[in-house]
Chain A
Amino acid sequence: MRNKRNEEKRGCLGSIIKKEVKELLTWETILPIVMIVVIFGMMGGVYSGVEEDVEEEPIIGLINNDGSGTYTDILIDTLDGGAELVYNRTDEDGDLGELIDEGLEEVGNEGGAALLIIPLGFNDTIALGEERASIRVIWILEGVGTFDSIPTGSVSGLLEVARSKITRELVGGDGGNVDTILAPFEYKSNETTMIKGGNPVNAGPGDIIGALATQSMLIPIMIMIVIMFSGGNVITSMGLEKENKTLETLLTLPVKRRSIITGKIVGSSAVGLAMALIYMLAYGFFMRGFYSSSDLNLEEIGLSLGIVGYLILAISISLAVLGALALCLVLGSFAKNYKSAQMLNGPLVALTMVPMFITMFKDFSTLPLTGKIVLFAIPFSHPMIASRALLFGDYLLPLSGLAYMAFFTLVMILIAVKIFNSDHLLVGRVKKEEEGKKRGIRFGLKSRIKPD
């Protein structure tokens, strides 16, 4: 008998979860995800195209009025080796203006990046060593987008290389050890960074922050996405129940309120997690281009999570998701239809975006007191804070975060159960000025629908 009861209960919960999942996996919900994947995929494609641009030799033109000489030759060889010379002249008749016009036209037609003019006396000025020599550069910019600076950037790079080569030639001429003269001492091979509240790390601060950059960005973003998708689903599901006018019937079915709540939470988080996963894969593909893996091995320098760390992080993320879903169930009870449900996403978005941006750029410990209080009070900050704190061996903050989130989640679930057992879902809000009277009536009488 008991077993049969349990079976029935599971059956009810199962059908609610199934219904939620089916309801949430519609074109309206899948399409945005597909679009994000496509957009990221395309951006990834653009980026690899850009990478090809970087590797491709820039096209330049050259007007050399200095003939040849040690230093001029170094410059020309460097340019020739790293760029495609489509125009190469010497000003013989003294009509530089005409040559420049002609050169610009030709280089421009070829899609080139710059026309370089080496003036007469370039080599001699350097050889004398009293003054700086100069060359003239006329840049050709095809657009002003970020990626449009790539060809001109490569030419600048070539000029830097040539400059450094000429320096070496100049210094080497005196017979000293060129490397020592150029950098008489170094510190990179023997540096240690003390991180507040953590273990010392044998690397420079820039390297550490760089190595953790991917992680610092990805974990808060991932947590935000999971919470927003799952939470949004719960709110949507409540909005749909109201819009389709199905809630009233659902509440009279022989199914426990607890099962309805659990069904909504489980269904929504399953769909939310699946959506987040797809999204993260696309995002990962997109980010891979921007964050080249660092030389630092995080594990070697002691900056990785141990088993306990991962466990705490996993609990932290799960609690945050659960708390978010309970909060959304409460928010969703205010939804009148699908549209107003989307509006109710606002508080959730704010509560996940704020900690995401803060933790991306600042550590909890470096925030001013008010910032700390705000960040701690937002329950969804904690997995983001924990992911970094745990890395540096700080357990107090993540554990107190767990305690706080458990408390928050419990309160939200209690409120959600209370709402499901009250008139609120069907009756909605009573006008403000009437609220006092309403309370008087409610609390003055004992009868209430008992939670089951």
Chain B
Amino acid sequence: MAKSVLEVKDLVKYYGPLKAVNGLSFEVKENEIFGLIGPNGAGKTTTLRVISTILQITSGLVRVFGYELPRQAGEVRRIISYLPEDAGAYKNMTGKVYLGFMASFFGNGGKTREIVQEGIKIADLGRRINDRVDTYSKGMMRRLLVGRALMTDPRLAILDEPTSGLDVINAKEIRDIIKNATKEGTTVLLSSHNMLEVEFLCDRIALIDEGKIVEEGKPQELKKKYKASNIEEVFVEAVR
């Protein structure tokens, strides 16, 4: 049995009086791709931000590779990589310089160069990698940031809607990159609205609504359980 990479138990998160996450529990196993699926405002981003150590936990337990939040946030940051839903890069830098800046937190000298090469390969922006990031299109920016998130070979990659804003071809490429990353020992936790993507990519998924998990399991199993032909139908049934 693969060991547990991420444990979330009874997680509750309030924004002021607003309950964004309402007693969420799930587990992610080593080397799998786990998807959080749910409508807008379900609490996906909030959950991912809590796991990424940048939001406080109101109550509940989060453990990453045995490190407990918030006590061991420093250790957790060393092994995770987080791709925010809506992120940018420092405008005055070129894509390559940005990757270099980010890589400098994960090693020095030759190691940094290695990481940057990996990032350039993943981003695959060709010559444009030497242009300032404020000249990038939305999709190019997303590719750069995906490259940044995966170049460090994180043990757990937390990707909030990794393919948002990408066209069909680019989205497919990113999906392949994510699939590949797991072959090199990375575990992936992602969120998505794209049900086709989820079916193709995820080993297991959790359907969230109003801060709660309403269903969890392998896409195939869920489809069988709800006698549905696709995850979209599963979702509609489960939420009802």
Contacts and interface: CB of A to CB of B under 8 A. Distances in A.
Interface string B40-56: 00000000010011111
Interface string A208-225: 000000000000000000
Contacts of A434: 16-17
Interface stretch (B66-74, B194-202, B225-233): B66-74
Contacts of B60: 447
A148 B138 CA distance: 60
A441 B12 CA distance: 11
A20 B204 CA distance: 41
Given A23-B92, A248-B87, A450-B73, A254 B17 contact: no
28 contacts: A11-B104, A11-B108, A12-B104, A19-B90, A22-B92, A22-B93, A23-B92, A244-B88, A244-B89, A245-B84, A245-B86, A246-B89, A246-B90, A249-B82, A252-B53, A252-B81, A253-B102, A253-B105, A254-B74, A422-B56, A423-B55, A431-B16, A437-B16, A438-B14, A445-B58, A449-B70, A449-B73, A450-B73
Given A15-B104, A245-B86, A251-B53, 19 more contacts: A8-B107, A23-B90, A244-B90, A244-B91, A248-B54, A248-B87, A249-B84, A249-B102, A252-B52, A253-B105, A422-B56, A437-B16, A441-B14, A441-B58, A447-B58, A449-B56, A449-B57, A450-B73, A452-B74
Contacts of A11: 104, 108
Interface of A: 7-8, 11-12, 15, 19, 22-23, 26, 240, 244-246, 248-249, 251-256, 422-423, 426-427, 430-431, 434-435, 437-438, 441, 445, 447-450, 452
B77 interface: yes
B188 interface: no
Given A12-B104, A245-B88, A430 B56 contact: no
B130 interface: no
Given A246-B87, A449-B73, A251 B106 contact: no
Nearest to B74: A452
Contacts of B56: 422-423, 447-449
B2 to A, nearest CB: 25
A15 B77 CA distance: 18
B80 interface: yes
A417 to B, nearest CB: 14
Contacts of A437: 16-17
B70 A450 contact: yes
Nearest to B54: A251
Interface of B: 14-17, 49, 52-60, 69-71, 73-74, 77-78, 80-82, 84, 86-93, 101-102, 104-108, 145, 148
Contact of A8 (B74, B77, B91, B108): B108
Given A434-B17, A437-B16, A449 B90 contact: no
Contacts of B86: 245
Contact of A426 (B16, B49, B77, B93): B49
A15 B97 CA distance: 11
A430 B16 contact: yes
Given A245-B87, A437-B17, A438-B16, A426 B55 contact: yes
A427 B56 CA distance: 11
Nearest to A441: B14
Contacts of B93: 22
A358 B209 CA distance: 60
B52 to A, nearest CB: 5
A332 B81 CA distance: 26
Contacts of B69: 449
A441 B77 CA distance: 27
Given A11-B108, A437-B16, A427 B92 contact: no
B84 A447 contact: no
A244 B90 CA distance: 6
Nearest to A25: B92
A254 B16 contact: no
B73 to A, nearest CB: 6
Contacts of A427: 15, 55
A253 B151 CA distance: 13
A249 B87 contact: yes
A254 B77 contact: yes
Contact of B16 (A7, A22, A251, A435): A435
Interface centre among A246, A431, A437 (most CB of B within 10 A): A246
A15 B55 CA distance: 25
A347 B152 CA distance: 42
B54 A426 contact: yes
A450 B54 contact: no
Contacts of B148: 249
Nearest to B145: A249
A150 B87 CA distance: 62
Nearest to B57: A447
A2 to B, nearest CB: 16
Given A430-B16, A441-B58, A447-B58, A452 B88 contact: no
A252 B104 contact: no
A179 to B, nearest CB: 71
Contact of B108 (A7, A423, A452): A7
Contact of B77 (A23, A240, A253): A253
B175 to A, nearest CB: 22
A422 B70 CA distance: 11
Given A248-B87, A256-B74, A441-B58, A15 B101 contact: yes
B144 to A, nearest CB: 12
B57 to A, nearest CB: 5
B77 A449 contact: no
A439 to B, nearest CB: 9
A448 B60 CA distance: 11
B70 A15 contact: no
B111 to A, nearest CB: 11
Nearest to A244: B88
